[in-house]
Structure 1
Amino acid sequence: MNKTEFFQRVAQLDNLTATDRRVIDYLDKHFLSLPYSKVVDICKEINIAKSTLGRFMIKIGFNGFQDFKKATIKPELYRNISPIERFNKENNLQSGMAYVQRHFSDVTDNITDTLDKMNAQDLEKAIALLCDPEKRLYVIGSASANALAEYFYLLGRYIKKDIVLLDANIGNLPHKLVDSRRGDVLLAISYFRFSSVTTRLVRWFHQHRGDTVVITDREVNPFSHFASVVLLTESRHKGLFNSRSAGFVLIEALVNYMGEVTGKELGDNFQVMESLFEEFNVFNK
């Protein structure tokens, strides 16, 4: 059942209560994140009892929320399929050169498709949040996304002094977040199969701190419910592992644009950074 079919069922209801309308409005806004939603979280946000949500589901023809959730999104869209499950080795046996050429073609298509589908309004909002000099910026990425987060952080430190790279080790997160405050911004990078640590952090940040910018590769994801902005990047690849190339290009564009709008502070940061490189003899001469 898609959103259109959901509203067709709703249209058949008579005498909708104010609570019914709140439930409908919530489900409309968060339809794509429903596969990852929990009854307790939904009821808390709508401020209703679980039994109230259950009665609404019965009104529209389901046995309960779990029954509704299963019918709403096709399982293959959100089931945590591992790389080896989708890998078909027989389709990938070819010469090294041919394989590399196909890889470059896949990467180019991903970058082009990401740019073509990018929502300009969402992108401008994300840039405004990331570049705001009054806001401390936290960055996290788990698994393969950790490399992208660290790359953004390392270059971002030249540009923005108040930036913190978060550890995906959940035991270390409280140490990094202890100085966080309301109004701060979180940049979270997470690809399917979606890190549970990143998901929990995005939810917490949304509820207790401020805006979140999420870079991910699936429209159906656990973040859209809590994110201020979701930037989607294509990650399709015919090989064993999905591609992170489009996400990397987007990260490069964002951090370079931050440098464009920083102003005088940029020169000061670079001078300090270069003096530290010189002090510790970081690079070969």
Structure 2
Amino acid sequence: MTIAERLRDRAEQLTRSERQLSDVVLQNYPVSGLGTITSLAEAADVSTPTVARLVQKLGFSGFPDFQRSLRAELDEKISSPLTKRERWVDDAPDAHILNRFTKAVIDNIGQSMAKVDPADFDKACSLLSDEKRRVFVVGGRITRTLADYFFLHLQVIRDKVVHIPSNSNAWPHYLLDFEPGDVVVIFDVRRYENSTLRLAEMAGERGVEIVLFSDQWGSPIAQHASVCFTNHIAAPSAWDSNITTMLIAEIVISEVQERNWDTTRPRMEALEEMFDRTRFFRKF
């Protein structure tokens, strides 16, 4: 587990001062924990013994051990595809890649599903199924394919769904139309994109709800999100795996479809009629 995951899992076991400290660590995670123990205590307005107690509750022998783990996480977050490949090649077991990759994906699914809070899931589905709200969907350089997939299905399910192009020079035009209560679905995994973060910040200023699909390290956008799905994505490859993110996205799509079925069914029937009239698909 990442330190952020440990902090969230143990939130109910922390004292008031420790929760205050935890909030500060998570605000600009993981960089917020890389200064001195004194500077972190001052930023959270707690004592240095409180910092020491918290890191021990998280399972670390002391503050240096805590920071070593943070640095390792930061190194993972900013890793390029070349760096990731070098790591897994050096550590790769003798088993065939078919087995190794499949095992990594299954492990990712297990760890990710264990972290999904049903309340957060229900909140995301409630936001997305509320037809009074407009929904905007956007991804990044790689995750735009996930955003396109999510948009295509959601557009069939309900109206008022807009796909924002991933190129950063286009989204300010969509930002003009954001209104309080609208929802922006964002896909953002390491290496997190600055333009997407700016979009999230400015959307938040306009009272927009953000549903974020990210990775186990957590995009900086998480601090602006109403709901954040943190999916495990590491795989024995130069590229991260999007399978877990796709899985959660498809479950959300399925639930929103069921919640909106009374209005979704006639939309789908009308769409099928259009397909038949245009002979879009082959008939056997």
TM-score grouping bracket, smaller chain normalisation: 0.7 to 0.9
Deviation at 1:184, TM superposition (A): 0.2
Distance of aligned partners of 1:91 and 1:29 in 2 relative to their CA distance in 1, 3 Å threshold = closer
Q: Pick from 18, 25, 28: which aligns with 1:31?
A: 25
Partner of 2:243: 245
Q: Pick from 183, 197, 200: which aligns with 1:199?
A: 197
Partner of 1:172: 170
Q: What is the rounded CA distance, in whole Å, between the counterparts of 2:232 and 2:142 in structure 1?
A: 15
In structure 2, give the amino acid aligned to 1:74. Answer: L
Task: Please identify, of 255-264 and 71-80, the stretch whose mean Cα deviation from structure 2 is larger.
Answer: 71-80
Partner of 2:257: 259
Secondary structure at the aligned position of 1:105 is classed as helix
Deviation at 1:93, TM superposition (A): 8.5
Matched-pair contact (CA < 8 Å) for 1:30–1:224: no
Can you give the 5+ residue segments of structure 2 that lack an aligned partner in the other structure?
A: 33-38, 49-66
Cα distance per residue 1:22-79 (max 9 Å; x no partner): xx95x653522414889xxxxxxxxxxxxxx9xx55x8899xxxxxxxx798333234
Cα distance per residue 1:167-198 (max 9 Å; x no partner): 11121113333332111011111111112121
Residue 99 in structure 1 maps to residue 97 in structure 2? yes
Identity of matched residues, %: 21
Q: What is the rounded CA distance, in whole Å, between the counterparts of 1:265 and 1:60 in structure 2?
A: 52
Cα distance per residue 1:246-272 (max 9 Å; x no partner): 000111111111111103211221123
Can you give the 5+ residue segments of structure 1 that lack an aligned partner in the other structure?
A: 12-23, 39-52, 63-70
What TM-score, normalized by structure 2, do the two folds share? 0.74
Residue 187 in structure 1 maps to residue 185 in structure 2? yes
In structure 2, give the amino acid aligned to 1:241. Answer: W
Distance of aligned partners of 1:124 and 1:274 in 2 relative to their CA distance in 1, 3 Å threshold = same
Q: What is the rounded CA distance, in whole Å, between the counterparts of 2:29 and 2:112 in structure 1?
A: 24
Q: Pick from 147, 152, 157: which aligns with 1:154?
A: 152
Deviation at 1:127, TM superposition (A): 1.5
Distance of aligned partners of 1:104 and 1:134 in 2 relative to their CA distance in 1, 3 Å threshold = same
Matched-pair contact (CA < 8 Å) for 2:187–2:213: yes
Cα distance per residue 1:202-256 (max 9 Å; x no partner): 1111111321111111344312221111111111212221111000011111111
Q: What is the rounded CA distance, in whole Å, between the counterparts of 1:228 and 1:37 in structure 2?
A: 22
In structure 1, give the amino acid aligned to 2:110. Answer: T
Matched-pair contact (CA < 8 Å) for 1:33–1:220: no
Distance of aligned partners of 1:94 and 1:153 in 2 relative to their CA distance in 1, 3 Å threshold = same
Count residues in correspondence: 246
